[in-house]
Structure formats: C-alpha cells, structure tokens
Amino acid sequence: MNPYLRYVSELVRLIREGKQFPLGGFPKPSRAAVASDAPVALIFSPHPDDECINGGLALRLRREAGMRVVNVAVTLGSNKARRAGRVEELNAACDYLEFGLIHTAPGGLEDINVKARTADPARWQASVDVIARIIADQQPTVVFFPHDSDWNSTHIGTHYLCADALARQASGFACHVVETEFWGAMATPNLMVEYSPDDLAEMLTALSFHVEEVQRNPYHLLVPPWMQDNVRRGGELVGGQGGPAPDFVFCALYRLRRWHEGRLGPTYAGGLTLPAATNASTLLT
C-alpha cells in the first residue's frame, strides 16, 4: 500500500474510533501538590472548555514551576438553558486538571464583546470592575487571555476586558501576559510551546468532561491535528521564515509579553521556542 494512503487512512480510523471513547469520569493522574502560597497563573476563559483547549502551558507551569493555576470563567456561554450543565462540566474539568476556579457572576458576565464595550460603557465598566478585582485579589505572576483578533466575538471581548482590567491595577503591578489563540490564528506569535503526548492527553481528557459540548461536536478529537499544524506555522512565524523546523509533533502558539508600568511591552526580541524537555519556568525569568 502507498504509505501516504496508509497514513491518511489511519488518521480517519482514529477519529472514527475516538467518537466511541468515554466522556468524562476519568480519575485524576498523580500530580505533585502545589503550595497554597505558590505564584498564581490566571486563565481568563471566554467560555467553559477554553481552560482545557488553551491550558497546556498552564499545565506545564503547574508541573514544572510549581505554580497555582486558577481558571476564571468569564462567561458561561450564550445558551442560558445550558448554563447549569456547563457549570457542572466546568467544575469536573477543573477538578481533573487541579485548576482552581473563580466564577465572575452566578450566570457569568453578559455581552462581553467589542460592540457592548462601545455601546454600553456603564455595563462594560461594571464587568471590567469584576475582572480588575480578581486580578488585584490574586496578584498573578502570569495571566492568559485571547489575542485581539481571535475571531469569536466573546474571545475578542475577553481580550479587551482583561486589557482594560489590567489598566485598572495599582501603579506598581506587573505580570507576564500570555495571549492565546483558538478561533483565529495570530499574525505575530512569539512563543512556540511543545506539548508531550502526556500533556496533550491530559488536555483532551479534561476536555471530554465537557460532555454535552463534545457530544454535539466532537471537536476534542481535532485538537491534536490543530497542534500539529501549529508546528508547521510556528516553525516559520516564531522560528523565522525559512529557518529549520523544530522536531515537535504537537505545540501551541502564544504571544508572551509583560505588563509593566501601565502598559504591555516585549519580554524579548524575536521568537522563542520552548521544548518539552526545557522547564517552563524559564519563560518567567
């Protein structure tokens, strides 16, 4: 058989087989405990499930840098009938990952989008206050939120919500800012983070706890091919056009900057690649 036909056929077989895998209910893997006073990484998730999809670097920081990871549920989605169920799924996913969880409001924040930011400034500022208080209370070392062109209106809205909340912090506040991508690819990522098979399996397992979402659309099974395509993109966008491709199978692309003196600034020139064998704590030095 043509080896490329065999390769593609195996991918098809695995996707079809994966649709029969159990969803949720998996026991937590053995992980080292994290100190209650450890440095904090906050993930601002536009929707329940984003903490799993974009949580790979946070998982690595927890394991390799001993950080305490806390997910902030910015919204609970637009379908009000599903919100109670999504909270249950989110609780289970965060428990599996051993991420802390903060809810912004009983039903999540509403109208987190650029249109609302302009059209209803009073309501927008009330939402900014919620996020600003969380940041001030948690004093994170690093925050994660979507980049400003991540296509989905709530993802883009979450970017501006977090940026506005950072601008509300006390003058001496500083942290690392990691911008994520999912719906829309970044034009200028500067960080390429390798995921080991164990890393990615943990993310997919956690994502499977969002049962009704992945039953509706088994997008969890398509995360690995996306992570493979990130290797293709990242080799050029982060590593440099025409440069040697990294020997990764799976990776995520991010933009890492630093919030300092009331603004975002670069932490290094050019792009940076973080292999699975290099401790993730090196990013924050």
User: What residue has token string 């940076």?
Assistant: 272
Residue 12 placed within a domain = no
pLDDT at residue number 169:
98
CB 192 within 8 A of CB 271: yes
CB neighbour class for 263 (10 Å; exposed up to 12, middle 13-18, buried from 19): exposed
DSSP code at position 227: H
Residue 182 placed within a domain = yes
Residue 234 placed within a domain = yes
Residue 30 placed within a domain = no
Which residues, in sequence order, are bridge partners of residue 72?
A: 44, 102
Residue 285 has pLDDT above 90, yes or no: no
Residue 150 has pLDDT above 90, yes or no: yes
CATH number for 208: 3.40.50.10320
CB 211 within 8 A of CB 89: yes
Of the pLDDT bands very low, low, confident and very high (cuts 50, 70, 90), residue 245 is: confident
pLDDT at residue number 262:
94
CA dist 285 and 280 (Å) reads 10
Locate the DSSP E strands across 147-270.
175-180, 191-194, 251-260, 263-266
CB neighbour class for 243 (10 Å; exposed up to 12, middle 13-18, buried from 19): exposed
- Neighbouring CB atoms inside 10 A of 113's CB total 20
Of the pLDDT bands very low, low, confident and very high (cuts 50, 70, 90), residue 1 is: confident
Residue 26 placed within a domain = no
Q: Where are the alpha helices (DSSP H) in 19-100?
A: 50-53, 56-65, 83-97
CA dist 266 and 280 (Å) reads 18
CB 107 within 8 A of CB 96: no
Residue 278 placed within a domain = yes
Contacts for 121 with CB less than 8 Å, ≥ 6 apart: none
Residue 31 placed within a domain = no
Q: How many domains is the chain built from? A: 1
- Neighbouring CB atoms inside 10 A of 132's CB total 19
Interval 111-131: pLDDT, tens: 999 999 999 999 999 999 999
DSSP code at position 82: G
Residue 70 has pLDDT above 90, yes or no: yes
Classified as helix, coil or strand, 14 is helix
Q: Where are the alpha helices (DSSP H) in the chain?
A: 3-18, 50-53, 56-65, 83-97, 114-119, 121-138, 153-166, 197-207, 211-216, 223-237
| Domain extent for 87 | 37-284
Residue 61 placed within a domain = yes
